[in-house]
């Protein structure tokens, strides 16, 4: 396909991007034919894939609304993808106009899209870094310019950890981030789990994502709970994401179909 003007030469536009696939699931427009093809293959393997993305994004919305309402004015969204449908800065700034948000993603395509979307937006920026290198994120000059680490920050790691294998020590990564945070900060986590899926569905999902640069590494509820080490989990703990402080009881029906589990933890004083 012809390379768009905004896409750097270093981007392989013939290879699916998980960020653009996720955008497609959400009904966004920031994706290419190759991403739509891969996403449709995923939907053929796991028909609930769009529901999964939408339920996870709804969890993100509720968590950010809660935190902004609780007085949090700073957000560090790591693995943010493309901030199009239901993005953090719009949600937070609707509650508190002075809220500041730094988006972080390793995917150059997601970052290129984000820069276009955020052009001229006050209180929000994007940097290209890797969750597996937390020190580079925490010490990045643009992160430090916008966020004050002497004050509470909400760190968001949503729909990312299933791309981080245990060999990369996700618990150690999150511990490094936790040590940099002021008391009263929060951690918002979610990731896909294969709890309740058939062996065939698991293999089909893994096969689709092996076509991208980001194979899947699923975890159990307990595995995700363990990643909140050092944080006090808010009620209702780590649950299927539709069960986290739902807007209505109807939205919790068949919650396991969302595939994502998540929770929010607070760093004590």
Tokens 């009263």, located at residue: 184
Q: Global pTM?
A: 0.86
The domain locations on the chain are 18-266
Q: What is the pLDDT of residue 84?
A: 73
Mean pLDDT on 264-268:
97
Residue 205 has pLDDT above 60, yes or no: no
CA 141 to CA 262: how far, in whole Å?
30
**Which pLDDT tens digit goes with each residue over 91-132?**
999 999 999 999 999 988 789 888 888 888 999 999 999 999
Q: What is the pLDDT of residue 117?
A: 83
The CA-based dihedral angle spanning residues 149, 84, 37, 199, taken in that order and rounded to the nearest 10 degrees: 50
Q: Quick check: 206 and 92 in contact, CB under 8 A? A: no
**Which pLDDT tens digit goes with each residue over 156-193?**
999 899 889 889 999 999 999 999 999 999 999 999 88
Q: What is the pLDDT of residue 82?
A: 83
Quote the Cα angle for 87-88-89, to 5°. Answer: 100
* Number of other residues whose CB lies within 10 A of the CB of residue 162: 23
Q: What is the pLDDT of residue 163?
A: 86
User: Residue 153, exposed/middle/buried by CB under 10 A (0-12, 13-18, 19+)?
Assistant: buried
Q: What is the pLDDT of residue 226?
A: 94
> Read out DSSP for 191-244?
EE--TT--HHHHHHHHHHHTTSS-------HHHHHHTTTTSEEPTT-SEEGGGS
User: Among 2.40.50.1070, 3.40.50.150, 2.30.40.10, 3.90.190.10, what is the CATH number of 18-266?
Assistant: 3.40.50.150
Three-class DSSP labels, 33-52: HHHHHHHHHHHHHCCCHHHH
């Amino acid at each position: 396909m012809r390379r768009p003007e905004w896409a750097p030469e270093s981007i392989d536009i013939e290879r699916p991007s998980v960020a653009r696939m996720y955008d497609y699931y959400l009904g966004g427009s920031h994706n290419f034919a190759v991403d739509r093809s891969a996403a449709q293959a995923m939907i053929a393997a796991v028909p609930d894939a769009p529901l999964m993305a939408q339920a996870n994004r709804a969890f993100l919305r509720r968590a950010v609304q809660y935190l902004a309402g609780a007085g949090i004015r700073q957000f560090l969204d790591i693995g943010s993808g493309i901030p199009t449908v239901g993005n953090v800065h719009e949600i937070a700034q609707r509650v508190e106009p002075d809220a500041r948000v730094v988006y972080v993603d390793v995917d150059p395509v997601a970052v290129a899209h984000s820069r276009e979307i955020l052009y001229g937006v006050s209180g929000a920026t994007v940097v290209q870094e890797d969750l597996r290198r937390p020190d580079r994120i925490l010490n990045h000059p643009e992160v430090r310019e916008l966020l004050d680490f002497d004050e509470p920050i909400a760190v968001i790691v949503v729909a990312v950890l299933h791309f981080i294998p245990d060999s990369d020590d996700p618990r150690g990564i999150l511990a490094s981030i936790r040590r940099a945070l002021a008391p009263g900060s929060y951690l918002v986590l979610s990731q896909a789990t294969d709890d309740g899926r058939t062996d065939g569905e698991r293999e089909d999902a893994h096969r689709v994502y092996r076509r991208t640069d980001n194979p899947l590494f699923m975890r159990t509820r307990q595995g995700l709970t363990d990643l909140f080490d050092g944080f006090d989990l808010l009620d209702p703990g780590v649950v299927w994401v539709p069960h986290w402080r739902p807007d209505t009881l109807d939205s919790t029906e068949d919650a396991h179909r969302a595939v994502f589990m998540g929770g929010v933890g607070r760093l004590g004083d």
